[in-house]
């Protein structure tokens, strides 16, 4: 009798997980790679997080994505942390190797990879808006990639200063600036990042604006927005100013590619990931902005 190999198992754990497109993206990538592997989405409450991670270990799962609200809490439940995950203080991807759970963080990798396709990050001057989890991951990854200087603007000085200390701890050059009452000059920045929720679920007009004085942009400026829309007011204004705009979808593609590479050891083709992700995020019968 021919024995069928047991497929490797992977999961998404979070609360909520309904509507999250990760399962479709990853399963499509596995099929394209010729891998008979399985990926499930599991709603896990905060109270059930520790048993869920123990279950991943006991059942022999080879990896998992971790989404809100568990990215910080799961840090204490894995065995080892990557340098980025340790600096960020959060885990969004778990790699299992012979029962050892390694915590990774790819939240900032997506932005760095997307930007690097346009120009090197090494030596870049960065203006970053926001100080939440995404901003912290992005700042750490930019510093690790060799960004020369990072300015962080956020409404909450305590959160901003917490991010600054995290980047300083890994040797990055970073400074906090006050969230401006008026538009802030780009002041020689080569990369401007919106890592806030400004523009989320809103079109290119009528929504709140990230306070950037786009008229001070220099040729070749890259403007990256974490908001997952085809176009936001931030990217529209950047393009009008002659900047190169990168949207949140591109960052998601790169994040997915990195996790798949961590699990398979193979770098996946980006275009199929992009097509599946875009299809999953498009409302039925409608077009995304």
Catalytic residue list: 71
Contacts of 219 (CB under 8 A, 6+ apart): 242
Question: Tokens 């963080």 identify what position?
Answer: 105
Alpha carbon distance 55, 12 (integer Å): 13
Alpha helices per DSSP H over the chain: 22-32, 49-58, 83-88, 109-116, 133-144, 157-169, 233-240, 248-264, 270-281
Coil/strand/helix, residue 252: helix
Half-sphere exposure of 260 (CA within 13 A, CB side): 29
In 3D, which of 132, 195, 139, 194 has the Cα closest to residue 166? 139
Count of residues for the chain?
289
Could you tell me how far CA 76 lies from the centroid of its own chain? 21
Distances 113 to 145, 201, 248 between C-alpha atoms, Å: 10, 25, 12
| CA end-to-end distance (rounded Å), the chain | 54
Torsion from C-alpha of 91, 179, 152, 197, nearest 10 degrees: 30
């Amino acid at each position: 009798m021919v024995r069928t190999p047991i497929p490797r198992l992977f999961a998404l754990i979070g609360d909520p997980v309904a509507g999250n497109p990760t399962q479709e993206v990853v399963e499509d990538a596995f099929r394209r790679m010729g891998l008979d592997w399985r990926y499930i989405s599991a709603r896990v409450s905060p109270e059930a997080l520790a048993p869920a991670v123990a279950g991943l270990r006991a059942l022999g799962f080879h990896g998992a994505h971790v989404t809100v609200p568990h990215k910080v809490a799961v840090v204490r439940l894995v065995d080892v942390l990557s340098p980025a995950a340790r600096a960020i203080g959060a885990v969004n991807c778990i790699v299992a190797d012979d029962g050892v759970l390694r915590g990774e963080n790819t939240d900032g990798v997506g932005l760095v990879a997307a930007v690097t396709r346009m120009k090197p990050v090494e030596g870049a001057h960065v203006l970053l808006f926001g100080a939440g989890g995404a901003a912290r991951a992005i700042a750490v990854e930019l510093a690790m990639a060799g960004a020369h200087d990072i300015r962080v603007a956020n409404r909450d000085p305590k959160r901003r200063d917490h991010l600054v200390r995290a980047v300083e701890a890994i040797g990055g050059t970073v400074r906090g600036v006050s969230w401006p009452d008026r538009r802030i000059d780009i002041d020689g920045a080569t990369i401007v990042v919106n890592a806030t929720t400004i523009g989320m679920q809103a079109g290119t007009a009528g929504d709140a604006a990230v306070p950037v004085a786009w008229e001070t942009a220099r040729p070749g400026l890259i403007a990256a927005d974490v908001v997952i829309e085809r176009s936001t007011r931030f990217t529209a204004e950047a393009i009008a100013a002659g900047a190169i705009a990168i949207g949140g979808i591109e960052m998601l593609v790169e994040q997915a590619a990195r996790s798949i590479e961590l699990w398979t050891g193979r770098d996946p083709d980006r275009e199929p990931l992009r097509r599946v992700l875009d299809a999953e995020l498009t409302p039925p019968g409608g077009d995304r902005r």
